[in-house]
């Protein structure tokens, strides 16, 4: 009976997607990220100067609107190269390849910042469900599930010893107004914050969090305390 109720209210969608994403992908690739960064840094020491940013930056747009090509999403984001591949045999597929792309992010002063960045791919499933009549998945359902996906994934990763210090979740709500460099601006804020964290002992201050970048505290306030995954409130957004 509980299972049927959860299924009808779509409470298990985001919870399952977050766990699948972690177990089937992040738990495999994240422990290898720093090694890939280190290998690249040996050949290009000036590109990845800030070790604090040697992480996989995972974009979590609450709209679930994902671009396959980041360069088309924002012209200030330019593909640089791929990091070294990880090849594993998984679920019957021989030599399955896992890899990450390194991008150059141009700021307002034409300075280039470099990082590995990609979207959280399960959000594509949430978006596709909201476009498919068979799923009976509304835009409001999608927003609630996107928030729950982020919150669940954050909790999973916080409890993962293998993934400590290997990732940066970037959750954001897109501005209602058309903004050409919205995405690069949000990524840059996180890169700058990490640089401040690296030198926090000397600087003693923290950058201001832009209103479009969502903090864990904001999302914490919108999730139920129940053990059963619950949809998040959407009236706060």
Query: What integer pLDDT is reported at residue 198 of this predicted model?
Result: 65
How many CA atoms does the CB half-sphere of 204 hold within 13 Å?
A: 1
Query: What integer pLDDT is reported at residue 221 of this predicted model?
Result: 34
Are the C-beta atoms of 84 and 69 separated by less than 8 Å?
A: no
Query: What integer pLDDT is reported at residue 200 of this predicted model?
Result: 56
SS3 7: helix
State the Cα–Cα distance between residues 51 and 39, nearest whole angstrom: 13
State the Cα–Cα distance between residues 228 and 11, nearest whole angstrom: 8
State the Cα–Cα distance between residues 237 and 235, nearest whole angstrom: 5
Overall fold of domain 7-204: Rossmann fold (3.40.50)
Point out the residues of the chain with pLDDT beneath 50.
1-3, 5-7, 201-202, 204, 206-208, 211, 217, 220-237
Are the C-beta atoms of 184 and 106 separated by less than 8 Å?
A: yes
DSSP state of 48: S
SS3 27: helix
**41 Cβ partners below 8 Å, 6+ apart?**
47, 48, 54
The pair of structure tokens assigned to 143 is 């927003």
DSSP E strands in 10-136: the ranges are 56-61, 77-82, 86-90, 93-98, 101-106, 112-119
- Phi, psi (5° rounding) for residue 59? -85, 130
Q: Is the whole model's pTM more than 0.85, yes or no?
A: no
Query: What integer pLDDT is reported at residue 230 of this predicted model?
Result: 42
SS3 166: coil
Q: How far is CA 218 from the centre of its chain?
A: 16
**101 Cβ partners below 8 Å, 6+ apart?**
79, 80, 81, 82, 83, 116, 117, 118
Query: What integer pLDDT is reported at residue 233 of this predicted model?
Result: 38
Query: What integer pLDDT is reported at residue 6 of this predicted model?
Result: 45
Distance of CA 72 to CAs 76, 128, 189, Å? 9, 20, 20
Report the b/e string of 166-175 with b at 16+ CB within 10 A.
Answer: bbbbbbbbee
């Amino acid at each position: 009976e509980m299972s049927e109720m959860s299924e009808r209210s779509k409470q298990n969608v985001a919870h399952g997607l977050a766990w699948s994403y972690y177990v089937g992908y992040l738990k495999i690739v994240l422990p290898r990220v720093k090694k890939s960064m280190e290998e690249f840094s040996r050949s290009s020491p000036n590109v990845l100067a800030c070790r604090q940013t040697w992480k996989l930056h995972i974009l979590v747009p609450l709209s679930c609107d994902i671009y396959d090509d980041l360069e088309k999403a924002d012209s200030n984001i330019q593909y640089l190269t791929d990091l070294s591949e990880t090849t594993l045999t998984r679920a019957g597929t021989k030599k399955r390849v896992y890899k990450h792309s390194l991008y150059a992010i141009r700021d307002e002063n034409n300075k280039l910042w470099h990082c590995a960045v990609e979207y959280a791919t399960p959000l594509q499933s949430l978006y596709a469900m909201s476009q498919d009549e068979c799923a009976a998945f509304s835009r409001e359902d999608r927003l609630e599930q996107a928030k729950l996906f982020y919150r669940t994934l954050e909790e999973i990763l916080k409890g993962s010893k293998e993934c400590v210090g290997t990732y940066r979740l970037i959750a954001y709500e897109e501005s209602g107004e058309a903004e050409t460099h919205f995405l690069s601006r949000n990524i840059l804020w996180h890169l700058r914050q990490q640089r401040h964290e690296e030198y926090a002992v000397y600087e003693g201050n923290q950058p201001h969090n832009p209103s479009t970048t969502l903090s864990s505290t904001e999302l914490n306030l919108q999730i139920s305390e129940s053990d059963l995954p619950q949809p998040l409130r959407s009236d706060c957004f």
